[in-house]
Amino acid sequence: MTGMDSSAAAPSDPREPRGADPRTDPAGTGDPAPGAQGTPAHPHRSGRPGEPLVVLEGVQKHFGDLHVLRDIDLTVGAGEVVVVIGPSGSGKSTLCRAINRLETIESGTITVDGRPLPAEGKALAALRADVGMVFQSFNLFAHKTILDNVTLGPIKVRGVGKTEARERAMALLDRVGVAHQASKYPAQLSGGQQQRVAIARSLAMDPKVMLFDEPTSALDPEMINEVLDVMTSLADSGMTMIVVTHEMGFARRAADRVVFMADGQIVEQAAPEEFFTHPRSERARDFLGKILTH
Amino acid sequence: MGEVFANYDVFGAFFMTIRLAVLSAIGSLLLGTVLAVFRMSPVGLVRGIGAAYVNVVRNTPLTLITVFTMLGAHSNLGIRVADPASPTSVVDTAFRWGVIALTVYHAAFVCEALRSGVNTVPVGQAEAARSIGLTFAQNLRHVILPQAFRGAIVPLGNTLIALTKNTTVVAVIGVAEIAYLTAEVMENDPGLIVWLFLVVALGFVVLTLPVGLATTHFGRKLAVAR
Amino acid sequence: MSAPVQLFDAPGPRGRAQQRVAAVVLALLAAVVLAAILWKLGERGNLTAAKWAPLVSPVVWRSYIVPGLINTLYAAAISIVLAGVLGLLLGVGRLSQLAPVRWVCATFVEFFRAVPVLVMMLLSFWGYLALDAVPGAYLPLAGTVTGLTLYNACVIAELIRSGVHGLPKGQAEAGLSVGLTPGQTLRSIQLPQALTAMLPALVGQLVVILKDTALGYQITYAELLRQGERIGSAYGNIVLALIVVAVLFIVLNYSLTSLAQWIEQRLSRRGRVAGGAQAADPTLGVDADPVAAGPAPGPGAGPGRG
Ligand SMILES: Nc1ncnc2c1ncn2[C@@H]1O[C@H](COP(=O)(O)OP(=O)(O)OP(=O)(O)O)[C@@H](O)[C@H]1O
Ligand SMILES: [Mg+2]
């Protein structure tokens, strides 16, 4: 597995021009490392490669007495793939959901592509259209066919024509390998297929960034890889991704940076290899000791 | 059985039952929808008003509400629902108060049926809709309501069946429907009891069975597989 | 009353302002409606001490309200017992191995369920009178109880049937596999579990029966509503008397509903019934108010008569 990352140095690799090198930017302030830019546009419309796309500063959130997000600072550059890991209850989902305001925050700021998160209304809807979200439980619209699940957003939100939306959706479904199921209903598909449709549904909106909240943890083991494969190829195509997952293989293979959270704080962040082989904090060593022995 | 039909206006009585049922079904669907919106509002006070209505009304006997319309609202408070000068004033007054009482009572149950429909929709559906950028109205229109409606078909059907049978209660204010006819027949010809029972039972089976069959059928057919 | 209303997105500043405006407008509207009602009541002379006095006088309570309350509870109690027995017989009959027994019970249930309770009361009241089957003083009670019993027995029979059908198949199979006959399996394994599972729905049905005793008003049974009306005509304060009666009904039924919920919670916590506690998928959480959430409406918990 470790061999995968060596290719990242190859100049032709689309991931090469990613943002701030996390190794030189452990605080995650996101200042792009000089000279990190270069190679031309990739297929996704995130800001210029390397520029900060999602920026969280001083984010605080409580659930009652529980302090779930403590002063979170995080910068994700355009084209970057960030994996968030940490023990259960550490606030990973809350962090992920805060970025498209499925959870509100009490203080601090979140900006996406330079614009602060709108608080409500059409502006919020427009922002969410630009931020894809993939849920642990898929959440496909149960009363709509697979095809309609994917075309609903483009037609209603982006105003794309029906025929065009359909063609686009079929292409995306083909890309995630479920085109032949297009006329079925979600309940007729396996979990892995549903999750791939959910990814296609998000992609249909041409998002600037995609959020994944434990996309494979509701899946049977034999279906995990088919979803991870789709996510890996998405990462390779230059999509900006924030992925909450415990799939270490995926983190090693596809992530530029691993963010480790515990008790609502970002305890440490580093490149995957470095994090897994030399975790700096006691909490991270402890956590890795528990999950890696499994 | 012929005697029942020959001497009494059975069809007239059933027609009155149908008129009461149709009008109060429409009324309670409208009022019940408003109440359901109230009960699901983000504003605490609005929710409170909806909850208070439902809890007061569904714990009060329909007979009491009906008696109140006539003895309280009409006689004591002098609220008029029909032109006193019209020749049909007495009949109209009873009929209209009957529809009002039935509407007020069943709106509480319609509200709960609609709410139980909304409760069949998992939270994730609304969140997914938000995440792809649907606005609140689009979310309701394309994701929540279509699913909630399917979940509400069966409870709404049950409410409609109950409403149809409950129309008999307004006999208490002199609306000439089936219960009124029953009392009239029994007073005059108690010997017709068995025939009368069969006529009424068959009549209500004919009125309610299709509703039950249809709601079960569509409830199943349109059910959202999860 | 907390507000986890997920139908709506968490509001922003504009949303909160709109909500405040909505709250104020509605509060004003409610105040206006309330004032109008009070004004109307006052205009018709309902708000004088003279009209209220009888309703707090011990004499009126002793001679009208308490007897009415007792009669209401009395008819409801007799009916629930009789309906329970008859319902159990019908329910078991519908599960019988003998096809003719099943058909007879099914026909009985379908017919008596279709007929409105009030019509059953009228038929039995006048029927008893014509046959001289019941002493005159007991006619209204007999009519009321007959109507309530026949209808609610059918509801209970359906509850039992769906309760037994709702049990996991493994329960019956386990019974048969240890050598019990189908009848023994039904009696000692399926019925006890089904009865426990339907307990909340049964208590919920009590609310329906209690409300439906008010139908006895129409065959002159001296239950609570009839007594309220008598107060009204004796003291000329019908509106106030009906309000008092309504409050009594609401308090009674509300307590019963709460009891049903309490039982249901205890049952599901103890997991007494196989397959009884289903994993709750979080749904659009509009049940901010625990009271109205109510037990899952069984066949009987719909809008009762009354
Ligand atoms: N809506 C809520 N109300 C109250 N507490 C909540 C809510 N959502 C989450 N929490 C609590 O906040 C904490 C953080 O939750 P979060 O879901 O973000 O954790 P997580 O890191 O994603 O955990 P997991 O790995 O189990 O998914 C947990 O203790 C959780 O119980
Ligand atoms: Mg989580």
Residues 6 or more apart from C267 whose CB is under 8 A from it? C196, C197, C199, C200, C273, C276
**CA A94 – CA C252 distance, rounded (Å):** 44
**Closest Cα to residue A83, out of A145, A165, A22?**
A22
Contact of A218 with chain C, judged by CB distance below 8 Å, is answered with no
The yes/no answer to whether this complex scores an ipTM above 0.90 is yes
Interface A-C: count of C-beta contacts within 8 A: 20
In a domain? residue C30:
no
Contact of B78 with chain A, judged by CB distance below 8 Å, is answered with no
In a domain? residue C55:
no
* CB < 8 Å to A124, chain C: 9, 12
In a domain? residue C282:
no
In a domain? residue C285:
no
Look at residue B1 in the predicted model and tell me its pLDDT: 66
Atom of ligand 1 nearest to the CA of A261: 21
pTM: 0.84
For residue B124, the distance in angstroms to the closest alpha carbon of chain A comes to 5
- Which range marks the domain in which residue C259 is found? 63-167+177-276
Q: Which positions of chain A have pLDDT values less than 50?
A: 1-46
* CB < 8 Å to B150, chain A: 143
Q: Is A88 helix (H, G, I), strand (E, B) or coil?
A: coil
Residues 149-188 of B with CB under 8 A from A: 150
**Closest Cα to residue A185, out of A144, A219, A150, A148?**
A144
**CA A10 – CA A14 distance, rounded (Å):** 9
Look at residue A294 in the predicted model and tell me its pLDDT: 52
Q: Which of A60, A61, A65, A66 to mutate to test the pocket of ligand 1 (most atoms within 8 A of CB)?
A: A66
**CATH number where C190 lies:** 1.10.3720.10
Beta carbons of C116 and B165 less than 8 Å apart: yes
For tokens 């004004």, the residue is C39
Contact of B130 with chain A, judged by CB distance below 8 Å, is answered with yes
**CA C52 – CA C33 distance, rounded (Å):** 22
Residues at CB less than 6 angstroms from ligand 1: A 63, 66, 68, 86, 88-94
Q: What is the mean pLDDT of each run of 10 residues along chain C (306 residues)?
A: 57 90 93 94 89 91 95 95 94 90 92 92 94 91 96 93 84 86 85 82 87 95 96 93 96 89 79 45 41 33 45
Residues of chain A contacting B, Cβ within 8 Å: 100, 102, 121-122, 125-133, 135, 137-143, 152-153, 156-157, 185-188, 198, 201-202, 205
For residue C176, the distance in angstroms to the closest alpha carbon of chain B comes to 32
Return the biggest CA–CA distance within chain A: 55
Q: B74, B145, B169: best mutation site toward chain C, by most C Cβ within 10 Å? A: B169
* CB < 8 Å to B142, chain A: 141, 152, 156
Are A182 and A170 a contacting pair, CB within 8 Å?
Answer: yes
Residues 6 or more apart from B64 whose CB is under 8 A from it? C214, C225, C242, C245, C246, C249, C306
Look at residue B18 in the predicted model and tell me its pLDDT: 96
Contact of A187 with chain C, judged by CB distance below 8 Å, is answered with no
For tokens 């019963």, the residue is C256
| Sheet of strand A240-244, all strands in order from the earlier edge strand to the far edge | A131-134, A209-213, A240-244, A81-85, A257-262, A265-270
Tokens of C143: 């009519």
For residue C5, the distance in angstroms to the closest alpha carbon of chain A comes to 13
Residues 6 or more apart from C103 whose CB is under 8 A from it? none
Interface B-C: count of C-beta contacts within 8 A: 232
Residues 98-137 of A with CB under 8 A from C: 101, 103-104, 118-121, 124
**Ligand with smallest separation from the Cα of A265:** 1
**CA C54 – CA C45 distance, rounded (Å):** 15
Beta carbons of B45 and C26 less than 8 Å apart: yes
Q: How many structural domains is chain C composed of? A: 1
Look at residue B107 in the predicted model and tell me its pLDDT: 97
Are C14 and B131 a contacting pair, CB within 8 Å?
Answer: no
Are A165 and A184 a contacting pair, CB within 8 Å?
Answer: no
Pick the residue whose CA is nearest to atom 16 on ligand 1: A91
Taking the domains of chain B in order of start, what are their residue ranges?
15-177
Tokens of A141: 């619209």
Look at residue A26 in the predicted model and tell me its pLDDT: 39
In a domain? residue C89:
yes
* CB < 8 Å to B143, chain A: 141
Locate all alpha helices (DSSP H) within chain C, ordered by sequence: 13-43, 49-56, 58-60, 66-94, 99-114, 117-131, 139-166, 169-177, 182-185, 191-197, 199-212, 224-235, 238-270, 290-293
Tens place of pLDDT per residue across chain B (226 aa): 678 888 899 999 999 999 999 999 999 999 999 999 899 888 889 899 999 999 999 999 999 999 999 999 999 999 999 999 999 999 999 999 999 999 999 999 999 999 999 988 999 999 999 999 999 999 999 999 999 989 999 999 999 999 999 999 999 999 999 999 999 999 999 999 999 999 999 999 999 989 989 988 888 888 888 7
Q: Which CATH number fits domain B15-177: 3.50.50.60, 1.20.1250.20, 3.60.70.12, 1.10.3720.10?
A: 1.10.3720.10
Nearest to B134 among A125, A137, A138 (CB): A125
Look at residue A27 in the predicted model and tell me its pLDDT: 40
Beta carbons of A124 and C9 less than 8 Å apart: yes
Residues 6 or more apart from C285 whose CB is under 8 A from it? B123, C4, C5, C6
Q: How far is the CA of A89 from the centre of ligand 1 (A)?
A: 5
**Closest Cα to residue A70, out of A47, A95, A45?**
A95
Nearest to A156 among B130, B142, B226 (CB): B142
Residues 6 or more apart from C23 whose CB is under 8 A from it? B43, B44, B45, B46
Backbone angles phi, psi at A158, to 5 degrees: -90, -10
* CB < 8 Å to C10, chain A: 101, 103-104
